[in-house]
């Protein structure tokens, strides 16, 4: 597993920032700021465990559970604008839908790298929105 490049991290931040901009006004109200912070914090709290569970299931080879977990993580990632993570989860879901789970090691490594990148973006933007919220 390679390390993320600065341009990959910038793209992740831009993706999450764009998704959040779709959800709130240019100058978010206190209620909108609370919503954004709740969304970001929820992802940060739940996504690592969800990714760990998905990687474990990949190694176990349980295609049905892989499909379901990949679908769930895909939705969470898409919700916050983590497009690369959502796309990867979609690929895992589609493969599992056919009843097969292949290359659990490399796929798990890619999932961990993408979740780490998404979390870096989420933590950065959480800090920004916390400063705005005061």
The DSSP code sequence of 49-94 is HHHHHHHHHHHHT-HHHHHHHHHHHHHHHHHHT-HHHHHHHHHHHH
**Is the pLDDT reported for residue 2 higher than 80?**
no
Task: Indicate the angle between helix axes 63-80 and 104-133, nearest 10 degrees.
Answer: 30
How sure is the predictor about 7, in pLDDT bands with cuts at 50, 70 and 90?
very high
Nearest Cα neighbor of 108 from 70, 82, 76 is 70
How sure is the predictor about 35, in pLDDT bands with cuts at 50, 70 and 90?
very high
Query: How far is residue 28's CA from residue 17's CA, in Å, rounded to a whole number?
Result: 13
Q: What's the pTM value of the predicted model, to 2 decimals?
A: 0.92
pLDDT in tens, 37-59: 999 999 999 999 999 999 999 99
Q: State the Cα angle at 79 between 75 and 81, rounded to 5°.
A: 115
**Torsion sign over Cα 67, 69, 70, 74:** positive
Q: Please say whether the beta carbons of 118 and 6 come within 8 A.
A: no
DSSP H/E element including 104? helix 104-133
Q: Which domains does the chain have, with CATH numbers?
A: 6-133 (1.20.120.160)
């Amino acid at each position: 597993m390679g390390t993320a490049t600065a341009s990959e991290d910038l793209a992740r931040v831009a993706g999450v920032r764009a998704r959040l901009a779709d959800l709130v006004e240019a100058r978010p109200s206190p209620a909108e700021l609370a919503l954004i912070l709740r969304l970001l914090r929820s992802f940060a709290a739940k996504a690592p465990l969800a990714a760990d569970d998905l990687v474990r299931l990949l190694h176990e080879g349980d295609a049905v559970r892989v499909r379901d977990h990949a679908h769930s993580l895909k939705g969470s990632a898409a919700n916050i604008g983590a497009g690369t993570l959502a796309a990867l989860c979609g690929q895992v879901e589609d493969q599992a839908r056919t009843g097969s789970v292949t290359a659990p090691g490399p796929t798990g490594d890619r999932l961990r790298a993408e979740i780490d990148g998404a979390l870096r973006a989420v933590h950065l933007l959480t800090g920004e929105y916390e400063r705005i919220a005061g």
